[in-house]
Amino acid sequence: MCGIVGYVGAREATEVVLHGLQRLEYRGYDSAGVAIYDPVIGLQLRRSVGKLSNLQQRLLNEPTHGHIGIGHTRWATHGGVTEINAHPHRDASGAIVVIQNGIVENYLALKGRLLELGYQFESQTDTEVIAKLLGHYYNELRDLGRAMHRTLQELRGGNAIVAFCIHEPDQLVAARLGNAGGIAIGIGNDERFIASDIPAILDYTRDLIFLEDRDIAVVRRDSVTIMRLDGTPVERPIHRIAWDPVAAAKGDYRHFMQKEIDEQPRALMDVLRGRIDQEHGRIELEDLRLNDHDLRRIRRIYATACGTAWHAALVAKFMIEHLARVRVEVDYASEFRYRNPILQSDSEHDTLVLAITQSGETVDTLAAMEEARAQGVPSVAIVNAIGSQAARLADGGPIYLHAGPEIGVASTKAFTSMLVAAYLFALRLAQAHGTLKPQQIREHIQALIELPGQAAQVIEQTKPLCIELAERYHRVSNALFLGRQINYPIALEGALKLKEISYIHAEGYPAGEMKHGPIALIDENMPVICIATHDHIYEKMISNIEQVRARHGQVIAIGHQGDELLAEKAHHVIGVPTTHPLLQPVLNVIPLQMFAYHVAVLRGCDVDQPRNLAKSVTVE
């Protein structure tokens, strides 16, 4: 949730750190700070509440100089949003500065002990406990790497930490404990970078090392030395990241979300690239390290994810069960591990956990994958962020989305890419299980090939109506989204998009359930967005629309272009092209994203950084 950047090298550290923090703005935060060191000037600490521009303004008035530094954007967990609570935090001597992403779960106990030893605290944060502990052990060991080692042994929780000490001014110390967030170390020419998220440092280097849980790294301008928490030295591979940093820039768009909605046709092409063999009617998922034999054994899948990715998991259930006839259960990752799930039947190794995550760093999803591992069940991850923790934890390979960086907090292109990746996985499973013949797979491939073009059509043709509807309805206080079967998760997703960026209360419901309660909410002020593209229960959906009309609700329908019956029943119809019913959600969700976007803009909301939200949720 918090963003972390560090630098050591010949450049002005302030510039590199601020640039990185700017790149992390999308994570959402409430305050920011930097600590920069120069042997002549000394340690310079600047912190500000609010947007990064406040810190930038502060730095204009009180500039910092030096070639080593760290910076942080905070998303408050312990202690209110104040300058004193903003990072970096200092040890008692003021020589050590620390930034952290995560939560020190036992910080009260540690703080109590430190208070007894005579330490004083200026903030209410758990991070200051790390700073004080580091200082405490540094006094004894006179080596920050070793002090970090001792400190980590006392922390409980998930933490990504970066620190430096003015008595060792040529090195940063970074550590990772648990899954609170990643730490990437960028390798430059006689310079090193540290970041919680790759985009923060991509403009400087594409060569990155990722720290694993319980790694401690001493980072100098010309070396990176990594040690495990148990004291053994370890080498981590250097990954070359192929992303284009320009892709992360907003270009001519007003908001990243708008850009990412428009990027969907390209993203859908990229997720398919190299994975379909039209001639032989085959799906090739090379990154999936499971062969036909492994896949044939799978009889049960637990799909797990959070938020929008959980909606993708709900859609994946329909795809996998229909195409491969393999049973799928879907869990919120945050609930999964606490319900003591029974994953493996006694005798057969027939179960797989499917984790879906854009960032690959969502702590609950990672914990669900670890639960699978603890129970001896392999996991496959559908993930966007290259080299992320989920990608590395997956046994069956990450199925990368290749959607490029998603910066807007509200997920759009990653969601539709997840649906297509899940479809590919379902077809690959069907291929192994023999539930589909090559000719049938060929037909699905044809639908997939047409999908990016159809998505482009939806964007181009429905945008004006989405804007018009946003103008008409942006002042409402509530909205209801209805769908059935595979389009029920799309109703959930439409409601989530609207509520998270426009702060309008919105609910997604299975349309058939409406009469069991929510129908009481419907009156002439309630927009009811109904997903009514053709499938085997289209008529039932039409009946549900009639029920809404009878209560004077305002019906906005997503339906097929030219559907006259729907045009008669609904107040407004957003027409989308027809694809295979299992792929239809990909097209149906796009107008819902655009509607939410334009409503939020008209309400003057901060679309890319909605209040209280963060792009990757690395705390429980």
Q: How far is the CB of 301 from ligand F6R (least distance, A)?
A: 18
CB of 365 to ligand F6R, least distance (A): 5
Candidates 59-67, 270-278, 358-366, 454-462; binding stretch for ligand F6R (CB under 6 A):
358-366
* Helix (H) or strand (E) run with residue 590 in it: helix 584-602
Task: Please give the helix or strand (H or E) that residue 217 lies within, else none.
Answer: strand 215-220
Q: How far is residue 554's CA from residue 482's CA, in Å, rounded to a whole number?
A: 13
Among 359, 389, 554, 588, binds ligand F6R (CB under 6 A): 359
CB-wise, 168 or 500, nearer to ligand F6R? 500
Catalytic residue (choose from 2, 165, 530, 605): 2
Give the nearer residue to ligand F6R in terms of CB position, either 521 or 613: 613
- Per-residue binding string, ligand F6R, 382-401, x by CB under 6 A, is --------------------
Taking each helix axis from N to C end, the angle separating 438-473 and 584-602, rounded to the nearest 10 degrees, works out to: 20
Nearest CB to ligand F6R, comparing residues 44 and 411? 411
Which amino acid does the sequence have at 618?
Answer: T
Known catalytic residue: 306? no
Q: How far is the CB of 362 from ligand F6R (least distance, A)?
A: 3
Which of residues 324 and 410 has its CB atom nearest to ligand F6R in the complex? Answer: 410
The continuous run of DSSP H or E covering 380 comes out as strand 379-383
* Binding test (CB under 6 A) with ligand F6R, winner from 111, 171, 617, 618: 617
User: How many residues bind to ligand F6R according to rule CB under 6 A?
Assistant: 15
Residue 410 as a binder of ligand F6R (CB under 6 A): the answer is: yes
Q: Which listed residue (132, 317, 569, 615) is catalytic? A: 615
At its nearest, how many Å lie between ligand F6R and the CB of residue 617? 5
Of the pair 165, 257, the CB lying nearest ligand F6R is at 257
Binding status of residue 196 toward ligand F6R by CB under 6 A: no
In angstroms, the CA 9 to CA 254 distance is 34
Tokens 């049960």 sit on residue: 300
- CB closer to ligand F6R, 198 vs 496: 496
Q: Is the dihedral of CA 116, 121, 125, 129 positive or negative?
A: negative
Q: Based on CB atoms, which residue is closest to ligand F6R, 133 or 363?
A: 363
Residue nearest to ligand F6R (CB): 307
Q: Which is nearer to ligand F6R, 359 or 431 (CB)?
A: 359
Nearest to 389 by CA among 241, 163, 162, 197: 197
In the bound state with ligand F6R, the residue whose beta carbon lies nearer, of 48 and 411, is: 411
To the nearest whole angstrom, how small is the minimum distance from the Cβ of residue 589 to ligand F6R?
11
DSSP 299-364: -EEEEEE-HHHHHHHHHHHHHHHHHH--EEEEEEHHHHGGG----S-SS---EEEEEEESSS--HH
Structural contact between residues 245 and 199, judged by C-beta atoms closer than 8 angstroms: yes
- Closest CB to ligand F6R among residues 8, 421: 421
Tell me whether residue 2 is one of the annotated catalytic residues: yes
We find the least distance from the C-beta atom of residue 389 to ligand F6R, in angstroms, to be 11
Asked if 358 interacts with ligand F6R (CB under 6 A), we say yes
Orientation angle between helical segments 127-141 and 144-152, nearest 10 degrees: 130
Q: Is 431 in the site for ligand F6R (CB under 6 A)?
A: no
Beta strands in 465-617 (DSSP E): 478-483, 505-510, 527-531, 554-560, 572-576
Beta bridge partners of residue 161, listed in sequence order: 100, 175
How is the beta sheet containing 478-483 ordered, strand by strand? 505-510, 478-483, 527-531, 554-560, 572-576
What's the rounded Cα separation, in Å, for the pair 317 and 40?
62
Segment near ligand F6R (CB under 6 A); pick from 139-147, 273-281, 353-361, 471-479? 353-361
Contact positions with ligand F6R (CB under 6 A) in 109-138: none
Give the CA distances from residue 468 to residues 259, 458, 573, 604, in Å, rounded to whole numbers and listed in that order. 19, 15, 12, 16
Region 54-73 residues binding ligand F6R, contact defined as CB under 6 A: none
Give 475's contacts (C-beta < 8 A, 6+ positions apart).
none
Q: Provide, rounded to whole angstroms, the least separation between the CB of residue 559 and ligand F6R.
A: 24
In 215-255, alpha helices (H): none
Residues 297-316 that bind ligand F6R (CB under 6 A): 306-309
Footprint of ligand F6R on 477-516 (CB under 6 A): 496, 500
Shortest distance, CB of residue 361 to ligand F6R, whole angstroms? 7
Q: Which residue has the tokens 């708008």?
A: 258
Q: Of all residues in the chain, what percent are helix, strand and coil, respectively (each to 5)?
A: 40, 25, 35
**Residue 80: which residues within 8 A CB-CB, separation 6 or more?**
124
- For residues 20 and 405, which CB has a smaller minimum distance to ligand F6R in the complex? 405
* Pairwise CA distance, residues 425 & 128, whole Å: 45
Q: Does 362 bind ligand F6R (CB under 6 A)?
A: yes
Which of residues 411, 485, 588, 618 is near ligand F6R by CB under 6 A? 411
3-state secondary structure 364-376: HHHHHHHHHHHCC
CB of 183 to ligand F6R, least distance (A): 17
Q: In the complex, what is the shortest distance from the CB of residue 449 to ligand F6R, in angstroms, rounded to a whole number?
A: 26
Q: Could you tell me which stretch among 32-40, 69-77, 153-161, 357-365 binds ligand F6R (CB under 6 A)?
A: 357-365
What are the φ/ψ torsions at residue 479 (nearest 5 degrees)? -150, 145
Report in angstroms how near the CB of residue 109 gets to ligand F6R at its nearest: 30
DSSP 526-555: -EEEEE--SSTTHHHHHHHHHHHHHTT-EE
Residues in touch with ligand F6R (CB under 6 A): 306-309, 357-359, 362, 365, 410-411, 496, 500, 616-617
Residues classed as catalytic: 2, 615
